[in-house]
Amino acid sequence: MKLTVPRSLRREEWLNYLHVDGEPDDALRRQMDEAERLLLGSVRPRGIYRVLSRSQVPEDGFSIQKHLEGCDQSALLAVTAGTEIDALIRKWQTAGMAMALLLDTGASVLVEQIADEAEAQLEAEITARAPGRFFTPRFSPGYGDYPLSCQRDLLTLVDAPRKIGLTLTAGNMMVPSKSITALIGLSDVPVKGRLATCGECVLREKCEFIKTGGHC
């Protein structure tokens, strides 16, 4: 996939990660401007996808099975912002923790924007080859009760380690860390997928959004 560097980061989403309500003050805005400049100068977006029958794809858990209900195929998507982003964050963890926090949260927004572009590109390419196909939104391991352990199979199926340099640690953490894997359901009839509820989520006991009355 040929992915582009976003022109800017989505500020509202970034502020949400920072748990900032309303408009940032001038000092925070200047810091975010600088963090955005550093991130956009370091990001190296890469992505890959593969379409398989559902029987070939790990669907452990109630949430992913309900999400793909009515679909006959799954598109496996993997994207990464690149190792340079991890290096940038590590540098500022020593040089200045406030900037490191801005970079870490901003990079999370950045990789979501990369995944959005990859998802749109995937749908356009599949539709060009097979008009009339319908798509669910993407659904990632770790969401609902879909276990993170499934990421290893997903990365193997798309050959992510070799093609985009995306690997897993023994604890199922992605390297580079600002990366996303996901499944997107395909069908010949309209499908919407299904959002997992907070009650189904494996992270519900630790979720910062739930603690503050919000959701992801």
Distances (CA, A) of 18 to 13, 106, 151: 9, 9, 27
Q: Average pLDDT for residues 159-171, to the nearest whole number?
A: 95
Task: Report if residue 150 sits inside a domain.
Answer: yes
The predicted pLDDT at position 132 comes to: 94
Q: Which amino acid is at 87?
A: A
Lowest mean pLDDT among 98-107, 152-161, 167-176, 206-215: 206-215
Q: Which amino acid is at 21?
A: D
CATH number for 183: 3.40.109.40
pLDDT at residue 201 tops 80: no
Distances (CA, A) of 134 to 109, 131, 144, 153, 191: 26, 9, 23, 24, 6
- The pTM of this model reads 0.88
The predicted pLDDT at position 49 comes to: 98
pLDDT at residue 75 tops 80: yes
Number of domains in the chain: 1
The predicted pLDDT at position 192 comes to: 84
pLDDT at residue 212 tops 90: no
Select from 51, 52, 9, 53 the least CA-distant residue to 33.
9
- Which helix or strand (DSSP H or E) is residue 122 part of? helix 97-129
Task: Report if residue 5 sits inside a domain.
Answer: no
Distance CA 105, CA 87 (A): 15
E strand intervals along the chain: 46-53, 73-80, 134-135, 167-168, 174-175, 179-187
Domain with 41 in it: 11-211
Task: Report if residue 125 sits inside a domain.
Answer: yes
Distance CA 212, CA 87 (A): 31
Task: Report if residue 2 sits inside a domain.
Answer: no
pLDDT at residue 80 tops 90: yes
Strand partners, 78: 48, 181
Task: Report if residue 188 sits inside a domain.
Answer: yes
**How many CB atoms lie under 10 A from the CB of residue 87?**
11
pLDDT digits (tens, 9 = 90+) for 101-158: 999 999 999 999 999 999 999 999 999 999 999 999 999 999 889 999 999 999 999 9
Angle 8-144-160 from CA coordinates, rounded to 5°:
60
The predicted pLDDT at position 67 comes to: 93
Across the chain, what does the average pLDDT equal?
91
Select from 141, 171, 158, 174 the least CA-distant residue to 60.
141
